[in-house]
Structure 1
Amino acid sequence: MRFKNKNNIAFIFTIKFIWLLCFQQTALAAEVKNPVIHKTHAIAMHGQPKYPANFTHFDYANPDAPRGGVFKQATVSSSGFDSLNPFIVKGVPAAGMAYLGGGYIYDTLLVQSYDEAFTKYGLLAESMEWPDNRSWITFHLRKNAKFHDGHPITAEDVVFTFNLLTEKGHPLYKTYYHNVKTVTALNNHSVKFEFDTKTNRELILIVGQFPILPKHYWETHDFTKTTLEFPLGSGPYKISKVDPGRSIHYERVKDYWGQNVAVNKGQYNFDMLIFDYYREPSVAIEAIKAGKYDLRVENSAKSWATEYNIASVKKGHLIKASITDYTPAAMQSFIFNIRRDKFKDLKVREAIGYAYDFEWQNKTIFYNSYTRIDSYFAGSELAATGTPSKAELVLLDPFKKQLPSELFTKPFTLPKTDGSGNIRNNLRQALRLLKQAGWQIKNKQLVNNKGEPFNFEVLLTQANFERIVLPFQKNLKRMGIEMTIRKIDTQQYIERRNSFDFDMIVSGFPQSTSPGNEQRDYWHSSQANIKGSRNYIGIENPVVDQLISKIIQAPDRKTLIASTQALDRVLLWNHYVIPQYYLNQTRLVYWNKFGMPEQPPKYAVGLNTWWYDSAKAKKLTKQ
């Protein structure tokens, strides 16, 4: 049909436009009223879960693994442990007690698969349902789940635990679950979490991470105190023996309710797990060589290179194995406490970094085994490289006036040396920066305009770190800076770190392949003065706060990567730490009496999938 009158044509288009608009609004209203609800066995952060609903076990676990035997490991701590309650700020928890995740004795709603970037499968939860916008999630619990005393695990236990952890537990819980609005028991076996946001995609996964505690037990115990009373759990192991500060024993629960759940098949195979405590790494090394325990994670390059050239290693009785680590490396570093006036100036922090000679240290002390770490997400696609990408610039340009101008035009680089130990040029550059910040050398001392000397203390808990810090101390002395080294026991160290009572510490910031809500605890302004938070640095930076929000709200993997790279870049250019080194390997030393699956997990060592091999063990006893 042809219209000769243009007014008629306009009228028809107007009617069509109004009809289309009404249709879209009606469809949108229907979508809001009846959103798409997902009902499934697993949740992926992005994309789809690898394993289907009827999967029988993870690929990296052997469902036919034999059970039995003892697995003894070592923990190095100068003060041992004094608590079996890992959920509060007070005390030093025993090895094997986890504050996130269940550790060995508590079960969680969901567990992670370690051959996917970030996907959670049901453990206590048989199934889950949630809307497309992820504004809530309902967990349906397995009806056969029970605590070790036979008491059923119910939705009331989940509600009770969440409230207990966020109200009386470590401040991490309140920060991590900041966007949880309500937790409601719908019936005995269904519990609903509602959120105050529709942009925090990670929440439906991480609310399944915390251990579920027995309400009937903790109602009659003081949750706020440290204790060595054996707690009531629900997981594959229970505590059977404690020698305070010396060892802890976990016994496999023979009638464990969850032993046949797919996520557990082929795991937790040892009848007994034992953690022995040693005060010094050197003593622990001699102990494993003597067969006093079974496995050691070796963190010292020197020990790895020199301590295991012994007959039992050459014969294959004691195994040295390096396992590739595909997760982002923790930012191992000297950490400034910028609550201290002397460290508030970015130029001062940058200048002090020039006194750390990684190249000399790597050659002289580390047997050239390490790489200088230059990212908070090193070894992954999340690390910032080169100059900002277009996607990063979209995030960073609004804050141009609040960021160093070089961030937009130069790749971030760390000072380098030729490895000879002569760092004269670096020290010159450092002194130029210090002069710009108002410091100058007088009588071989660096002083400010009030004549006050520049001095600070680095706090250590492990003696083997002294050899790393001493050369740094010597170079600082050449700049007129007096740095003292104070070594204290583990318990004192944790207390001082938690209360931010230090000038500088040596530590790291572990990361995952899917960063999210935990970034608040590391860097957010709200955590700068919360005792026990991991914002050790004391960062109160609105740009960092905004970028953390972008990470948490990232709608897809591509946006998450760009947001994380932008945060990484801002943290680096603010020189909050002096980066040290990393190795994308986990170095293990263990006695050859274990079996392990042919296909290991990609994102974990996978010790929980090992088993005791009696035939191998007999060969060792005959040596």
Structure 2
Amino acid sequence: MKAVLLAAALSLAAFPAIADPAQNGPWLTALSLSGDAKPLAEHWDYVNPNAPKGGLVRLSALGGFDTFNPILPEGESAYGLGLVYETLMTGSMSDSNSSYPLIADAFAFPPDISSATFRINPKAKWQDGTPVTPADVKWSFEQEVKLNPNLQQYWQDVSKVDVTAPDQVTFFFSTKNNRELPIILGQVMVLPQHWWEGKDANGKQRDIGASTLEPPMGSGPYKMASFSAGSSITYQRDPGYWGASEPTQVGMNNFDTIRYEYFRDPDVAFEGFKGDQFDWWSENRAKRWATAYDFPAVQQGKVVKELYPQTYADAGVMVGFIPNLRLDKFKDVRVRKALNYAFDFESLNKTLFYGQYQRIDSYFYGTPLASSGLPQGAELADLEAVKDKVPPEVFTAPYTNPVAGDPQKLRANLRQALDLLTQAGYHLDGNRLVDAKGTQLSFEILLNGPTIEPVATAWQTNLTSIGIATTIRLVDSAEYINRMRSRDFEVTYNGWTQSLSPGNEQNFFFGSKAATDPGSSNYAGIADPGIDALINDVVFAKDRDALLAATHALDRVLLANAYIVPSYTNRDDRIAHWDRFGHPDNLPKYSIGFPDIWWYDEARAEKTGKAR
């Protein structure tokens, strides 16, 4: 997912070069696309290598689950499967562009990056004691690509995969010099072929292409101990975990037991947190953060309330109301722009959010990847290359959101919205905005639960005032997932997070091919040749400067096309937790690291009261 092309072939920050594999490139045991891969001799510098093992941590999850199959796009997959399954490589919480050994102990690629070879760690074992093999990796990749259209697109540049030595698997590429590919192939989830092709306890043949609630078997640090269908899952630390002493795993996986409790409603979940039904709560409502943390456990010091800025430090974000461009009513950019003029963020921030939020104005908000000012230099050159395929205003005016916050400014914005809608062929007929045939402009706003309902209601009021009819539809997570996959929505509230090194995933978010893929994150249905060309510039950027220029250009064009009514964000993670845990003094640069590097603190738990 992190795509920065390396400055020159093998000019990566990589070490050590151990030997020359068959495809004429050095074996690498660390790699960072940001150019500073730090050696990992014994453990991460943000863990406590002597962290105590033991105890229980209880986490919450919204919705339900109906499958333990980790690769199918259908259904609701269970939380915590990443505790059971592992990937070829793993990343650092202090370098989001990095790759370090996990199931593979090294990897390599030739100067033209036409392939990548991974060497399997001879210590790697499945939880039944069977060795992990290159054949497992080959089979896993092939099944994931066959059964999951999202992954098929993500790894679309892989032409084939072969076992090329008893301990090696090689991925061959259909393109050259896409230097992100070795990194993202390290993200392949490795599954046990022998288990999936075997029979369950009842003698029934397993099927990787079908949903299942049979507890999975993987290579990871935890086993699934028990579950109650749709309501809870308990994972138990595996004392025989093969990787416990590997440098990337030392000081990690400290809890003996991890349990997920499921809730259908976030308000009910918060009451469950207050009642000590689970330990950790990430707050997503400004009003609740400002007013609801006066319950006895907070007053007694048993619940700790903290802000963590590092959670989002390596991530850009764009979220908001997304119209479905597959529908004719939203194909005109003037209609889409008008919708933004009806959104009064400033009033919402005063009345609902206690001033805690900032308005988003970039698809890479909060990072150096966000566009600003007018294009120049390499960014301007990228835009000039697609000049006839992008909105002309990208060359003359930086993007800004409409600003309201008081009745006078809001009225001016609504007049501007009506001007745009008039240009698009609509007119007011009484209190109805209609087209030439007399059909009122109307749409449903699809929401995943009630959290955004007050925001949607405020927007709805402004839309009604200019004659647009809207309804707000709240659905549970299962229905929301199904409707999004079938593209059965008119406007929805959703978005994208971005790494500091964007690459192949931009096709999945905004590329034309993804517009017709029901499993993709191209929610809006964007199919634009100019954007496709700019995505290509991002993927094949020759160095960091070229990547920044290409990303700025892509951001600028996405904004100009008004594919979303941007909402808001808070760059601090608002966390409340029961005081039963310890953590290293120096947390990672880009993560809280919970629960991965935290541990159960017996003394704190005794004082707070042990979890039930």
The offset of 1:117, in angstroms, is 3.7
TM-score of the pair, normalised by structure 1: 0.91
Counterpart in the other structure of 2:279? 294
The offset of 1:492, in angstroms, is 1.2
Q: Is the Cα–Cα contact under 8 Å of residues 176 and 521 in structure 1 kept in the other structure?
A: yes
Q: Deviations over 1:498-534 (max 9, x none)?
A: 1111001101201111111111110110111111111
- Separation of aligned partners in 1, 2:394 and 2:315: 22
- Separation of aligned partners in 1, 2:239 and 2:557: 51
Counterpart in the other structure of 1:3? none
- Separation of aligned partners in 1, 2:354 and 2:151: 41
- Aligned counterpart for 1:89 among listed residues 50, 57, 73: 73
Matching of residue 545 in structure 1 with residue 532 in structure 2 = yes
Bigger mean CA deviation after superposition, 392-401 or 126-135: 126-135
- Aligned counterpart for 2:481 among listed residues 494, 499, 524: 494
Q: SS of 1:597's equivalent?
A: coil
Matching of residue 611 in structure 1 with residue 599 in structure 2 = yes
Matching of residue 522 in structure 1 with residue 506 in structure 2 = no
The offset of 1:271, in angstroms, is 0.5
- Separation of aligned partners in 1, 2:546 and 2:39: 25
Q: Is the Cα–Cα contact under 8 Å of residues 136 and 193 in structure 1 kept in the other structure?
A: yes
The offset of 1:64, in angstroms, is 0.6
Q: Is the Cα–Cα contact under 8 Å of residues 199 and 554 in structure 1 kept in the other structure?
A: no
The aligned amino acid for 2:37 is P
Change (3 A) 1:72 1:35: closer
Matching of residue 183 in structure 1 with residue 161 in structure 2 = yes
Counterpart in the other structure of 2:44? 58
- Separation of aligned partners in 2, 1:247 and 1:112: 29
Counterpart in the other structure of 1:272? 257
- Aligned counterpart for 1:304 among listed residues 289, 297, 307: 289
Q: SS of 1:330's equivalent?
A: strand
Name the count of aligned residue pairs. Answer: 580
User: In the TM superposition, what are the counterparts of 1:276-425 in structure 2 within 5 Å?
Assistant: 276-324=261-309, 325-419=312-406, 423-425=410-412
Q: Is the Cα–Cα contact under 8 Å of residues 317 and 366 in structure 2 kept in the other structure?
A: no
Q: Is the Cα–Cα contact under 8 Å of residues 378 and 549 in structure 2 kept in the other structure?
A: yes
Matching of residue 44 in structure 1 with residue 29 in structure 2 = no
Q: Is the Cα–Cα contact under 8 Å of residues 344 and 405 in structure 2 kept in the other structure?
A: no
Q: Is the Cα–Cα contact under 8 Å of residues 458 and 485 in structure 1 kept in the other structure?
A: yes
Change (3 A) 1:490 1:61: same
The offset of 1:194, in angstroms, is 1.4
Aligned residues: CA RMSD: 1.6
Q: Is the Cα–Cα contact under 8 Å of residues 326 and 524 in structure 2 kept in the other structure?
A: yes
The aligned amino acid for 1:305 is A
The offset of 1:622, in angstroms, is 9.2
Counterpart in the other structure of 1:470? 457
Counterpart in the other structure of 1:12? none
- Separation of aligned partners in 1, 2:216 and 2:408: 53
Q: SS of 1:609's equivalent?
A: coil
Q: SS of 2:509's equivalent?
A: helix
The aligned amino acid for 2:573 is T
Q: Deviations over 1:511-567 (max 9, x none)?
A: 111111111110110111111111111010011111111111112111111111111
Q: Is the Cα–Cα contact under 8 Å of residues 74 and 276 in structure 1 kept in the other structure?
A: yes
Counterpart in the other structure of 1:174? 152
Counterpart in the other structure of 2:134? 155
User: In the TM superposition, what are the counterparts of 1:429-508 in structure 2 within 5 Å?
Assistant: 429-508=416-495
Matching of residue 620 in structure 1 with residue 604 in structure 2 = no
Change (3 A) 1:305 1:81: same
The offset of 1:420, in angstroms, is 5.2
Q: Deviations over 1:406-446 (max 9, x none)?
A: 11011100000134586111110000000001011112111
Q: SS of 1:549's equivalent?
A: helix
| Percent sequence identity over aligned pairs | 42
Counterpart in the other structure of 2:195? 217
- Aligned counterpart for 2:589 among listed residues 597, 602, 609: 602
- Separation of aligned partners in 1, 2:375 and 2:100: 36
Q: Deviations over 1:388-418 (max 9, x none)?
A: 1211111000222222221101110000013
Q: Is the Cα–Cα contact under 8 Å of residues 329 and 584 in structure 1 kept in the other structure?
A: no
- Separation of aligned partners in 2, 1:137 and 1:218: 26
The offset of 1:480, in angstroms, is 0.3
The aligned amino acid for 2:265 is E
Counterpart in the other structure of 2:4? none
Counterpart in the other structure of 1:206? 184
Change (3 A) 1:147 1:505: same
The aligned amino acid for 1:272 is T
- Separation of aligned partners in 1, 2:177 and 2:437: 50
- Separation of aligned partners in 1, 2:177 and 2:610: 61
Counterpart in the other structure of 1:557? 544
Q: Is the Cα–Cα contact under 8 Å of residues 108 and 211 in structure 1 kept in the other structure?
A: yes
The offset of 1:36, in angstroms, is 6.4
Change (3 A) 1:421 1:233: farther
Q: SS of 2:553's equivalent?
A: helix
Q: Is the Cα–Cα contact under 8 Å of residues 316 and 500 in structure 2 kept in the other structure?
A: no
Q: SS of 2:109's equivalent?
A: strand
Counterpart in the other structure of 1:126? 105
The aligned amino acid for 2:124 is A
Counterpart in the other structure of 1:6? none
Q: SS of 2:242's equivalent?
A: coil
Counterpart in the other structure of 1:21? none
- Separation of aligned partners in 2, 1:209 and 1:125: 11
- Separation of aligned partners in 2, 1:236 and 1:420: 57
The offset of 1:258, in angstroms, is 0.6
The aligned amino acid for 2:291 is T
The offset of 1:118, in angstroms, is 0.2
- Separation of aligned partners in 2, 1:270 and 1:622: 14
The aligned amino acid for 2:279 is D
Q: Is the Cα–Cα contact under 8 Å of residues 386 and 533 in structure 2 kept in the other structure?
A: no
- Separation of aligned partners in 2, 1:529 and 1:83: 25
The offset of 1:605, in angstroms, is 1.9
Matching of residue 71 in structure 1 with residue 57 in structure 2 = yes
Q: Deviations over 1:158-182 (max 9, x none)?
A: 00001111112x2111111011122
Change (3 A) 1:222 1:290: same
Q: Deviations over 1:438-460 (max 9, x none)?
A: 01111211111111111100111
- Aligned counterpart for 1:116 among listed residues 95, 111, 129: 95
Q: Which runs of 4+ in 1 moved over 3 A?
A: 419-422
Counterpart in the other structure of 2:559? 572
Q: Is the Cα–Cα contact under 8 Å of residues 250 and 273 in structure 1 kept in the other structure?
A: yes
The offset of 1:84, in angstroms, is 1.0
Consecutive unaligned residues in structure 1, runs of 5 or more: 1-33, 98-102
- Aligned counterpart for 2:85 among listed residues 94, 101, 106: 106
The aligned amino acid for 1:317 is K
Q: Is the Cα–Cα contact under 8 Å of residues 54 and 600 in structure 2 kept in the other structure?
A: yes
Counterpart in the other structure of 2:203? none
- Separation of aligned partners in 2, 1:521 and 1:622: 45
- Separation of aligned partners in 2, 1:111 and 1:35: 23
User: In the TM superposition, what are the counterparts of 1:231-250 in structure 2 within 5 Å?
Assistant: 231-250=216-235
- Separation of aligned partners in 1, 2:518 and 2:412: 40
